[in-house]
Amino acid sequence: MNNQEIVSKLWNLCNVLRDDGITYHQYVTELTYILFLKMAKETGAEDRFSQGITLIEGQKFTNGEKQVVLDYSWDRLTEKSGLELYKYYKDLLRFFGTYCTGRVREIYQGAATNIEEPKNLEKIISTIDSLDWFSAREEGLGNLYEGLLEKNAGEKKSGAGQYFTPRVLIDVMTRLMKPQPGERCNDPACGTFGFMIAAHSYVRRHTDDFFDLDADVAEFERKGAFTGCELVHETHRLALMNAMLHDIDGEITLGDTLSNLGKGMKGYDLVLTNPPFGTKKGGERATRDDFTWSTSNKQLNFLQHIYRSLKPDGKARAAVVLPDNVLFADGDGAQIRADLMDKCDLHTVLRLPTGIFYAQGVKTNVLFFTRGKEAKGNTREVWFYDLRTNMPSFGKTNPLKKEDFQNFEAAYEAADRKAVTDERWSVFTREEIEAKGNSLDLGLIRDESVVDYEDLPDPAERGREDMEQLEEALDLIKGVVKRLEGLRKKEEGVQ
């Protein structure tokens, strides 16, 4: 059984929890709690996974008025059943979130189960225990967990697409940025930590699993090179678990980069990110007091943060996914773009296809830029690659593939960009861009499709999306009804 088959079996377990009214995203979080124990058992590294654990009186902690000895492990979990298992599991979550330190505590802090039926918990644990974990270890437990996160993001009902950038796009951006040993890499909106894991893997592949590095640099790669920040608590848990399974101990902060917390996030050699789109809740303005232009537009604020967070050494660089409105927004948007092109060499803009992630109508781009040594005049020309116009419809049935980026990568890395013969590849000078009011909404080729239907999604794909939304709504209603019935029965029992 390979990892893909194991992921499918794990994902199918979510059907067990539908009657408990548990959402897809809650399910992945629940699986994270349980898989943590199983993966620690399978790697024979329960002590390492629990490194830094600190308990009261050795192996004791207070439970009510009694001091009890507890042994929380996968083997103990599988020995129990029914209400005994359910109570043990709830105590386990509280124990790891209260008495552990380090990554273990971060993952379990504030953890609470959404499972209400003990038999459902028992079913999940027994199914996980019976899987082919030898094969999973061979392929890599980190890869297995990422496969589960990708499956979650691919299910539109999960609502997790906003946290998960397509793997193929992450890999392209990472290959072109070429992270190097000793560099400080960061993702200020890290989601499940996919960009940093890709950067870590890139360095490992190019250094013979760090054996080509001296001991100090190898230690830095594991503990300090790859960092991130994530605002959403549940997603932060997934990022921590993902990093740990890939043997990355870099700091992953729970917080808001667009608050003053983000002021300390700077001096990076490389930033790879896909920050959230939209406006601050309620239209409130950014709380950062160091931004020159304060706007409620999240992506413009993230852009300001990113190019300011790079070292001004002429080598620090970034690749950032941003929506179209960043390219043409006037007012503060135009001034932020001008500041970006002054402080950085914005050398490339990739116009991405629609339908690869986010809603069908959201159009995105990747901006590639390098921070200059000086604060003025770093951008002289910007190259654009149009991977959007006259492209096939991408979606669940036709996912984006590595091959779709081949021509772009060839143009990007060409020794002489002007010698590239590709109609999708074009260049505009800084003077031409200034003449257009600093708009970067450029580089799109002639659309050969019928204009009136340009933005219409594929009918079959749209129909599937509508069906999935209806199913999600029905699942939520069933969950609410079940909980209400349970409350009524409890009240009747009291009476």
pLDDT of residue 69: 40
205-209, 301-305, 472-476: lowest mean pLDDT where? 472-476
Question: Of 455 and 369, which is predicted with more confidence?
Answer: 369
pLDDT of residue 361: 67
Strand-pair partners of 368: 319, 348
Q: How many other CB atoms are found less than 10 A from the CB of residue 320?
A: 24
- Mean pLDDT calculated for residue range 455-471: 67
Q: Which of 201, 195, 189, 309 is nearest to 253 (CA)?
A: 189
pLDDT of residue 259: 92
- Band of pLDDT at residue 107, cut at 50, 70 and 90: confident
pLDDT of residue 360: 59
CA gap 269, 88 in Å, rounded: 46
pLDDT of residue 455: 54
CA gap 88, 74 in Å, rounded: 11
Q: Which of 145, 112, 140, 144 is nearest to 238 (CA)?
A: 145
Q: What percent of the chain has pLDDT over 70?
A: 82
Asked if residues 77 and 37 have their Cβ atoms less than 8 Å apart, the reply is yes
Place of tokens 């996974």: 49
Cβ neighbours for 474, distance < 8 A, ≥ 6 positions apart: none
- Mean pLDDT calculated for residue range 472-486: 73
Most confident stretch, 22-31, 92-101, 194-203, 233-242: 194-203
Cβ neighbours for 479, distance < 8 A, ≥ 6 positions apart: 18, 19, 20, 21, 22
Say yes or no to pLDDT of 8 above 60. yes
- Band of pLDDT at residue 63, cut at 50, 70 and 90: very low
Host H or E run for residue 309: helix 298-309
No. of helices (H) and no. of strands (E), the chain: 19, 11
Each residue of 277-305: pLDDT tens digit? 876 655 555 578 889 888 888 999 999 99
pLDDT of residue 368: 98
Determine the distance from the C-alpha atom of residue 216 to the mean position of all C-alpha atoms in its chain, rounded to a whole number: 28
Question: Of 53 and 317, which is predicted with more confidence?
Answer: 317
Each residue of 387-418: pLDDT tens digit? 999 998 787 778 889 999 999 999 999 999 99
- Mean pLDDT calculated for residue range 78-101: 87
26-40, 128-142, 178-192: lowest mean pLDDT where? 128-142
Our CA dihedral for 213, 219, 221, 224, rounded to 10 degrees, sits at -150
Say yes or no to pLDDT of 314 above 90. yes
